[in-house]
Amino acid sequence: MEDTPQKSPAPEQVILRMTSIGKSFLGVRVLRGIDLSATAGEVHAVVGENGAGKSTLMKILAGVHQPDEGTVEIGGETRSFAHPVEAQRAGVAIIYQEFNLLPERTVADNVFLGREPTRRGLLDRAAMDAATSRLLDELDEHSFGPRDMVKDLSVAQQQVVEIVKALSVDARIVVMDEPTAALAEHEVELLYRLIRRLQGRGIAVLYISHRLREVFDLADRVTVLKDGAHVATVRTSDVTTAALVKMMVGRELDAYFPPRADEAVIGEPLLTLRDAGNGKLDGIDLDLRAGEIVGIAGLQGSGRSSLAKAIFGAEPFTRGEITPTRPANVREGVAAGIGLVTEDRKAEGLVLNQSVRDNALLVTRAIGRGGRSHRSTAAVAALLEKVRLRPPRQETEVKYLSGGNQQKVVLAKWLTLAPKVLLFDEPTRGVDVGAKAAIHDLMRELADTGTAILMISSELPELIGMSDRIVVLRDGRVAGHLPAGATEEAVMALAAGAAGAAA
Amino acid sequence: ASDLPPTGASAPPDSGTSAAPAETSAPASAGTGEQSEFFVQADYDAQLAMRTQTAEGPADKPWEQAIAPQMVDTAKYKKDGPYHLCFSNAAVNNPWRQVGWTTMQEEVALHKEIKEFTALDAEGKDDKQISDIAELQAKGCDALIISPNTTATLTPAVSGACPAVPVIVFDRGVETDCPVTFIKPIGGYAFGADGAEFLIEKVPAGGKVLALRILPGVDVLENRWAAAKVAFDKSQLEVVGVEFTDGDAAKTKSIVSDYIARHGKIDGVWMDAGATAVAAIEAFEDAGAPVPAFVGEDQQDFLQKWKDGNLTAVAPTYPTYQWRTPIIAALKILKGEEVPKQWNLPQPKITQESLGTYLQPDMPLLHYALCGCESMPGFPGKWGGK
Amino acid sequence: MIALVANPTRAVYAALIATLAIGWALVAFDGGAFTLNDIVGIQQRSAALGIVAVGQTLAILAGSLDLSVAYLISLVSLVAAETMAGQSSNILTAVVVALGVSALVGLVNGVVITKLKVHAFIATLGVALVIRGVLDHLYDGPAGRVPVDFQQLGYARIGPIPVAAILWAAVAVAVWFLLRRTRLGNRIYAVGGDVEVARLSGVRTDRVVIAAHVLCSLCAGVAGLLLASRLGAGAPTVGTDGGYDLESIAAVVLGGTALAGGRGGVAGTVGGVLLLAVLDSIFNQLEVNSFFKDVVRGVVIVVAVAVYARRTGRRAS
Amino acid sequence: MKRAIPIFLVLAGLLVAIAVANPYFLEPAGFLGFLKRVAPLAILAAGQYFVIVSGEFDLSVGSLVTVEVVVAARLIDGDEAMTWPVLALLIVIGLLVGLVNGLVTTKLRVPSFITTLGAMLILSGAVFLWTGGAPRGALSQGFRVFGREGVWAVLILLVAVTAAVLLMRADFGRTLIAAGDNERAARLSGVRVDRVRVFAFMLSGLSAAVAGILLGGFAGVSAQVGQSLEFQAITAVVLGGVVLGGGRGHVVAAIAGAFTLEALFTLLNLHGISGALEYAVQGVIIIAAVAAGGLRLPALRLSPSKV
Ligand SMILES: Nc1ncnc2c1ncn2[C@@H]1O[C@H](COP(=O)(O)OP(=O)(O)OP(=O)(O)O)[C@@H](O)[C@H]1O
Ligand SMILES: Nc1ncnc2c1ncn2[C@@H]1O[C@H](COP(=O)(O)OP(=O)(O)OP(=O)(O)O)[C@@H](O)[C@H]1O
Ligand SMILES: [Mg+2]
Ligand SMILES: [Mg+2]
């Protein structure tokens, strides 16, 4: 795909060269013939739809998986890693897509896990603490220290620990698999600065993200994977966003977001909160009306998830006026026709070892609603058709589905309820571009049929593109309301509490 | 059940429910296998001889009788009452020990001169019994009664106690003669021989006999089988199987059912302990086969079945009345009266003729007839009878 | 770490002191008295279980568990006693052989769990059955003879303190040190906390689990040696009669170590074992029926763990 | 269900081997005898399955079986008229013990391994405390019919298997397995996780009551009747490919695991593996079976659909 003859980097500068990598899981080919190289000081992005094989490729590099075919060369030497520790020793550090920390251990313990320094054969905790402190300082992170327990940290702070852990390895190659998924905008800025510093030190950074803006901000080159195959490697300066998306999904995506609701469609409030609060929220006033999508914006930890869980009944409101129902627990919420698409699909949304069918019927069965007809194969097939699951196989275990398809199953689960109010917490986090559009369409369709929708998203373009109205939270309180089509700056101003922010 | 060793009652992860036959792979004639290392010819001879000797002592109190006693002088232990007796019990984990323990407590109640009776239950644990014995020595006991959990392993503890206090051992022995007296019925060889001789007499030559044992490795049980084996090997009977039942009724019944199915007809059943005899009999009933000549024990359920089914049976015994004797012995010792060094109690067997006297329909099914407790004040309520 | 473990650990020691006080009062009321002898009795009584439980702590912390310790103890007692055969000169060989057998069993447990990926419950239950088969096959009853010199281990005292108790204390301190101050200890916590995280962080998790099992079995081996010295012989039922498998797990959990692994420590286990031993001693003093003891033991274990669950639950919410 | 195929192959192999060694096995009476012998363990395995698939353990069933038999003997005490009231009481006891196990596990958040270990101690202690150390009384003939007459045992087994299969197909079963798979997700979907788990423990208690009735009927009163049954039941379930930890496995496979275990005992017995080594063989086979299940060839697994 590279049209312009490339100034090939001097041989000694090529730190990583992966050639013809192939990998199968349980007889299914996940990667075939992948080539990837990185030079010193380069940021090389890897993009592709969910399930394209990005993480698998990185895990091969990190020694988590062993390739079925192909070779990995580091610094010109062919290496094969039987265990992550061997990759570590070869200078590969990785921030995994999923959190990879022990909540019951301290920050320092986590950072040095597997590489604990010793003195005269005994653990040298002082050295661990000192080194961790130094790294935290380097990152300008002063909100916690090496002896804090990881479980007491916020999600963003935990991500910082992951980064420190990767930096503490004396690495030549640093892999970051969606490091920003859990970060707010200003934290992303910090990460950018950090990556620049790594670059300066001649470290090769492999960067995976679904947020194309970051790819263009950071990367020198980008490699596109699709269905486990190598599509192209191009210089970011030589390609446009649209072209990149086309390479990823294999077609052009015309409109990013479905049209907004017609004023006429928006109906009565289905849920009204007045001065509602609990341990994490206070003074919340909010109306959710039939046919409307309300976007909730806010920084990490501003209470967005708490709001959704409170409305749903999982962490109920303890005060305020909530009409028509104030669910005291999940079952009351569900009975009142409220559904919650949780932030963490795997941990909170799905029973991964069960079939698509069992997951889709979970809510129906839990509340014992609907007779036999709701549980029939035909009814479930219709449901899967509605959420556009591809292929709509009912007996597949959900753990074998891609992220986007998994999210569709979660949606199907709630649709059986014919919900009056549906709450979406980061519905497209880690979902690829194609599936994202499908989920957006579905949300709008639901609204059009009279469901009140609340949507939380950390991706401002998505939030702004989808919402009929935006409510910004700050420190568990409503910081302001914005109309459809507000600018990112307006949202950020409210969220961050900048002076003079208009309400 | 009399000597069901501790394994039988504690709960190791035991996964077997059906039998592990010793010799079943040779279907023609399983035989009786080799004589075990536990067989001691001299002891065998002595016990078989004792069966015919008359015991000394009051005729109506077999628990005070002794066969061929070698008296020892106890003057050095003489002291004035009241007395503090101590007892280290192996366990109370099966009906035999339960009946015995009740009987012992009632015996204590009979003697006003016992002001205190301290008993510790080792729950079938050797290590705990060793600690218990140490603990009891420090309690200022005037005499220490021990019912050892196992023979060899309690020897050091018993040896340790002997210099401090007069020690009385009963039921299972220890490998030291330091206790003042060791009380036991005649013993396992006599028990085993009683049953085997009965079968040899009742079963026609060439008849098939099934031997059911609880488990290997327990000396008393090994002795029973060893004596039976000697008898069977000399006889015309064919021992078609020697099986271990773990003392488990369900397993026993399964094993016997299998043998009935495989051999069509079994002519006699020998058992080293009778607790599962009824289950074995039921296997014949359920298979619609006649109940053959049977060796059981003095438990009421077996005696009842015997009478109701008009069986050809015999019940050798390991009398629970031996639990009375240690208290009596302790008091004798403390009063300076001489006691037998080895106190051999008579060990009667229940036959067709004596069945009537021992069958007590008002007693619990698992009650042992030879408790010698009928005239005690608490009878029958304390033993669960009506 | 300390703050976290401190809760259940402190709780178990508080319970221990309360039990001692109540027990002392009950016994006094009953007309008896707690004497030095009883204290020594408690130490003696707890030594074997204590050593096994310390080892079991390692297995449980690593996210595993070991149901084979009881049969292993029996096996070790026999191997040791037979090797000694009453000769003092054989003691060293016997100890080495016994510990070698233990380590081997631990290795098998660990390898079956990690390499064959069999759940620890089934793996160690299976190994227990195998040992049981070997025991039943080779031994009919107590065997071997322990020379008087070696019996000192089980009976001798230094001042008022039994050598057995010192042995237990030494094992506990060694394992405590291992957990707090060595890489292996650190990694045992990590693997028990989350194997996958530990593996991805570069810990060779299989080795850690295997090491934990080898150490656990070695502790069981030491307990087997101690019991052999107490009994003067090896006995094929000494481990199972003592119920060392389930009771050691109960003691560990009573000491506040999470059954799921990754949380807890040796200090709690020591408290748990002492608590069980003190209960036992009180029951002995009061001559309580053994069935009643079982009921009380069952209740104590469940209630203790329920209390810990409440505490950690409150922290989390 | 595909996960369960190996266990059925193993079972079929064992049954063939038994039939070869002992042709009597193929006669109706012989096979009926086998079924009768399997019934209690199979029922216990079904009960244990519910608990295991929901992510828990029940170690108390062995003691509970003993309790059921001992209680029945003492209360009936040979009186035919007491048969039915006592049978009803036994069922209630089973359910009640399950209820308590379930409530302590879910409401007090005690790991079920510990809850039921405690229950095991408490039950066996309490029942012998009550009877003074050994069983008392006697069972009536009416009571014993269920365990003694093969037809009854097989009938009860059939009912139990059918009920278990229907339960697992019903909403209860699907939500139970969901709770075992991912408790949080199940809760957030409105599943009453605690309630289904308590119900699972009650089913396990019920199965122990029924197994107790069958075992007591089969061989009469005995203090050891329930000894180590908990380990056998768990082993059977695991042999059936059900995963400890919950969320995976089929109840029919768990029951097949019980059949396999019993068939294994029968076969070892037939081939005269010496009593001692029997345990060793068992241990190796159990480990091997579970290991083979874990390392099964990919082809036998559900093929993942790549989307
Ligand atoms: N351990 C595994 N076992 C079986 N299949 C796996 C495993 N890991 C990944 N897969 C499958 O391999 C494919 C590639 O997954 P991978 O996680 O590499 O995709 P990705 O590009 O990182 O997707 P995402 O953007 O969602 O992170 C998917 O179909 C996934 O289901
Ligand atoms: N791990 C944590 N430990 C302690 N407090 C936390 C933690 N996570 C969040 N909080 C606090 O809880 C409150 C609300 O958090 P919540 O998760 O609802 O925020 P959020 O805006 O939804 O963040 P996210 O984008 O992560 O979902 C905030 O005050 C935050 O500081
Ligand atoms: Mg990925
Ligand atoms: Mg959130």
pLDDT digits (tens, 9 = 90+) for C165-201: 999 999 999 999 999 999 999 999 999 999 999 999 9
**Is the CB of residue C118 less than 8 Å from the CB of residue C62?**
no
CB pairs under 8 A between A and C: 70
Tell me how far the alpha carbon of residue A331 is from its chain's centroid: 28
Name the one residue in this structure whose structure tokens are 């620990």. A161
In a domain, A345, yes or no: no
Q: What is the pLDDT of residue C317?
A: 34
In a domain, D24, yes or no: no
Burial of A373: CB neighbours in 10 Å, binned 0-12, 13-18, 19+:
exposed
Sign of CA dihedral D182, D183, D185, D189: positive
Q: What is the pLDDT of residue C38?
A: 76
DSSP D119-163: HHHHHHHHHHHHHTSS--S---HHHHHHHHSHHHHHHHHHHHHHH
- A145 ligand 1 Cβ < 6 A: no
- A84 and A118 co-located in one domain: no
Q: What is the pLDDT of residue D274?
A: 58
Residues of C in contact with B119 (CB under 8 A): 287
CA of A27 to the centre of ligand 1 (A): 14
**Res. C104: pLDDT tops 90:** yes
Q: Who surrounds ion ligand 4 at CB < 5 A?
A: A 304-305, 343
Contact check, Cβ <8 Å, A314/D188: yes
Specify the range with the lowest mean pLDDT, choosing from A284-298, B264-278, C13-27: C13-27
Nearest CA to ligand 1 atom 26: A50
Q: What is the pLDDT of residue B106?
A: 95
Q: Does an interface of 3+ CB pairs under 8 Å exist between A and B?
A: no
| Average pLDDT taken over every residue of chain D | 88
In a domain, D299, yes or no: no
C278 against D45, higher pLDDT: D45
**Res. C300: pLDDT tops 80:** yes
Tokens of D174: 């699907």
Give the domain CATH number at D212.
1.10.3470
Best of D2, D3, D188, D199 to substitute, by most chain A Cβ atoms within 10 angstroms, is D188
Contact check, Cβ <8 Å, D247/A26: no
Provide CB contacts within 8 A for D175, sequence distance 6+: A362, A365, A366, D186, D191, D192, D196
- A313 and A410 co-located in one domain: no
| A29, A49, A55, A401: residue to mutate for ligand 1 pocket, most atoms within 8 A of CB | A55
Q: What is the pLDDT of residue D276?
A: 66
The interface residues of chain B toward chain D in range 10-39, judged by CB-CB distance below 8 A, are: 11-26
Full domain range(s) for residue A158? 99-170
- A483 ligand 1 Cβ < 6 A: no
- A454 and A502 co-located in one domain: yes
- A324 and A462 co-located in one domain: yes
Tell me how far the alpha carbon of residue A395 is from its chain's centroid: 27
Q: What is the pLDDT of residue C312?
A: 66
**Res. B121: pLDDT tops 50:** yes
Among residues D286, D252, D262, D181, which one has the least CA distance to residue D1?
D252
Q: Determine what percent of chain B is predicted with pLDDT higher than 90.
A: 59
Which CA distances in Å does A178 have to A208, A212, C7, D119, D306?
A: 5, 11, 38, 48, 22
Domain's final residue, options A211, A230, A249? A249
CA–CA gap between residue A303 and residue B46 (Å, rounded): 90
CA–CA gap between residue C210 and residue B38 (Å, rounded): 41
Provide CB contacts within 8 A for D194, sequence distance 6+: D102, D106, D107
**Is the CB of residue C220 less than 8 Å from the CB of residue A129?**
no
Sheet (strand A452-456) strand order: A338-341, A421-425, A452-456, A293-298, A469-474, A477-483
B16 against A315, higher pLDDT: A315
- A274 and A405 co-located in one domain: no
**Res. A186: pLDDT tops 50:** yes
Q: What is the pLDDT of residue C283?
A: 87
The interface residues of chain A toward chain C in range 23-62, judged by CB-CB distance below 8 A, are: 62
Among residues A347, A413, A406, which one has the least CA distance to residue A380?
A413
CA–CA gap between residue B282 and residue B293 (Å, rounded): 14
DSSP D84-108: HHHHHHHHHHHHHHHHHHHHHHHHS
Upstream peptide bond of A324 is cis (omega within 30 degrees of 0): yes
**Res. C214: pLDDT tops 50:** yes
Classify A103 as helix, strand or coil.
coil
Choose from B75-84, B299-308, D44-53, D243-252 the range with maximum mean pLDDT.
Answer: D44-53
CA of A265 to the centre of ligand 4 (A): 29
Full domain range(s) for residue D153? 2-16+36-293
CA of D58 to the centre of ligand 4 (A): 37
- In DSSP terms, B350 is beta-bridged to B315
D167-186 exposure pattern, b = at least 16 Cβ within 10 A, e = fewer: bbeebbbbbbbbbbbbbbbb
Tell me how far the alpha carbon of residue A492 is from its chain's centroid: 20
- A322 and A191 co-located in one domain: no
Any chain C CB within 8 A of the CB of D101? Answer: no
Helix extents (H) in A286-432 = 304-312, 330-335, 356-360, 362-366, 372-375, 377-386, 403-415
D268 against A249, higher pLDDT: D268
Nearest CA to ligand 1 atom 31: A400
In a domain, D169, yes or no: yes
B6 against A238, higher pLDDT: A238
Contact check, Cβ <8 Å, D188/A27: no
**Is the CB of residue A23 less than 8 Å from the CB of residue A56?**
yes
- Per-residue pLDDT band at D184 (split at 50, 70, 90): very high
| A101, A306, A460: residue to mutate for ligand 2 pocket, most atoms within 8 A of CB | A306
Classify A456 as helix, strand or coil.
strand
Mean pLDDT within C239-261: 91
Specify the range with the lowest mean pLDDT, choosing from A436-445, C106-115, D46-55: A436-445
Contact check, Cβ <8 Å, A351/D299: no
Ligand 2 atom nearest the C-alpha of A458 is: 25
Any chain D CB within 8 A of the CB of C259? Answer: yes
In a domain, D75, yes or no: yes
In a domain, A271, yes or no: yes
CA of A176 to the centre of ligand 3 (A): 10
Q: How far is B33 from chain D (nearest CA, A)?
A: 13
- A52 and A182 co-located in one domain: yes
Residues of C in contact with B134 (CB under 8 A): 41, 44
Provide CB contacts within 8 A for C13, sequence distance 6+: C271
CA–CA gap between residue B356 and residue B347 (Å, rounded): 18
In a domain, D40, yes or no: yes
Mean pLDDT within A63-86: 92
Q: What is the pLDDT of residue C2?
A: 38
Provide CB contacts within 8 A for A222, sequence distance 6+: A44, A45, A46, A47, A215, A233, A234, A235, A236, A239, A244
Q: How far apart are the first and last CA of chain D?
A: 23
In a domain, A6, yes or no: no
Specify the range with the lowest mean pLDDT, choosing from A174-183, A311-320, B87-96: A174-183
Q: What is the pLDDT of residue A296?
A: 94
Domain's final residue, options A374, A397, A417? A417
Domain count, chain D: 1
Q: What is the pLDDT of residue A400?
A: 83
User: Pick from A85, A104, A121: which is nearest to C193 by CB?
Assistant: A104
Mean pLDDT within A230-258: 80
- A230 and A309 co-located in one domain: no
**What kind and span of H or E run contains A34?**
strand A28-39
In a domain, A342, yes or no: no
In a domain, A214, yes or no: yes
Mean pLDDT within D194-205: 97
In a domain, D191, yes or no: yes
In a domain, D304, yes or no: no
Q: What is the pLDDT of residue A499?
A: 38
Among residues A137, A428, A406, A161, which one has the least CA distance to residue A295?
A428
Contact check, Cβ <8 Å, A103/C193: yes
**Res. B274: pLDDT tops 90:** no
Nearest bound ligand to CA A399? 1
Q: What is the pLDDT of residue A355?
A: 92
Q: What is the pLDDT of residue D63?
A: 96
Q: What is the pLDDT of residue D1?
A: 54
| A23, A25, A345, A401: residue to mutate for ligand 1 pocket, most atoms within 8 A of CB | A25
CA of A51 to the centre of ligand 3 (A): 7
- A390 and A265 co-located in one domain: no
In a domain, D300, yes or no: no
Tokens of C151: 């019996």
A266 against D302, higher pLDDT: A266
Classify A93 as helix, strand or coil.
strand
Contact check, Cβ <8 Å, D185/A349: yes
Name the one residue in this structure whose structure tokens are 């036999």. A372
Give the domain CATH number at A313.
3.40.50.300
Any chain D CB within 8 A of the CB of C316? Answer: no
Any chain D CB within 8 A of the CB of C314? Answer: no
Residues of chain D whose C-beta is under 8 A from some C-beta in A? 171, 174-175, 177-178, 181-182, 184-192, 247-248, 298-299, 301-307
Sheet (strand A284-289) strand order: A284-289, A269-277, A319-323
Tell me how far the alpha carbon of residue A411 is from its chain's centroid: 17
Mean pLDDT within D245-257: 92
**Is the CB of residue C38 less than 8 Å from the CB of residue C234?**
no
Nearest bound ligand to CA A302? 2
Provide CB contacts within 8 A for A52, sequence distance 6+: A225, A226, A227, A228, A248, A432
Q: How far apart are the first and last CA of chain B?
A: 23
- Summarised one tens digit per residue, pLDDT across range A117-176 is 988 889 899 999 999 999 888 877 888 999 999 988 887 788 889 888 988 888 899 999
Any chain C CB within 8 A of the CB of D244? Answer: yes
Contact check, Cβ <8 Å, C201/A105: no
Domain's final residue, options A249, A278, A296? A249
CA–CA gap between residue C251 and residue C268 (Å, rounded): 9
Q: Determine what percent of chain C is predicted with pLDDT higher than 90.
A: 62
Mean pLDDT within A323-351: 89
Q: What is the pLDDT of residue A241?
A: 85
In a domain, A343, yes or no: no
In this structure, the residues whose C-beta lies within 6 A of any atom of ligand 2 are: A 154-155, 280, 298, 300-306, 343, 476
Tokens of B299: 């438990």
CB pairs under 8 A between C and D: 139
- Summarised one tens digit per residue, pLDDT across range D121-131 is 999 999 988 88
Upstream peptide bond of A461 is cis (omega within 30 degrees of 0): no
Q: Determine what percent of chain D is predicted with pLDDT higher than 90.
A: 61
DSSP D238-263: HHTTPPTTSS---HHHHHHHHHHHHH
- Summarised one tens digit per residue, pLDDT across range B345-369 is 999 999 999 999 999 988 888 899 9
Domain count, chain A: 4
Best of C136, C231, C287 to substitute, by most chain B Cβ atoms within 10 angstroms, is C231
CA of A458 to the centre of ligand 2 (A): 13
- Global ipTM: 0.87
Which residue from B minimizes the CA distance to C69?
B12
Angle, CA of D62, D64 and D67, to the nearest 5°: 120
Instruction: Give strand ranges (E) for C152-215.
Output: 157-158, 161-162
- A434 ligand 1 Cβ < 6 A: no
- A269 and A332 co-located in one domain: yes
Which CA distances in Å does D269 have to A72, D56, D276?
A: 56, 33, 11
- A138 and A162 co-located in one domain: yes
Which residue from A minimizes the CA distance to D2?
A395
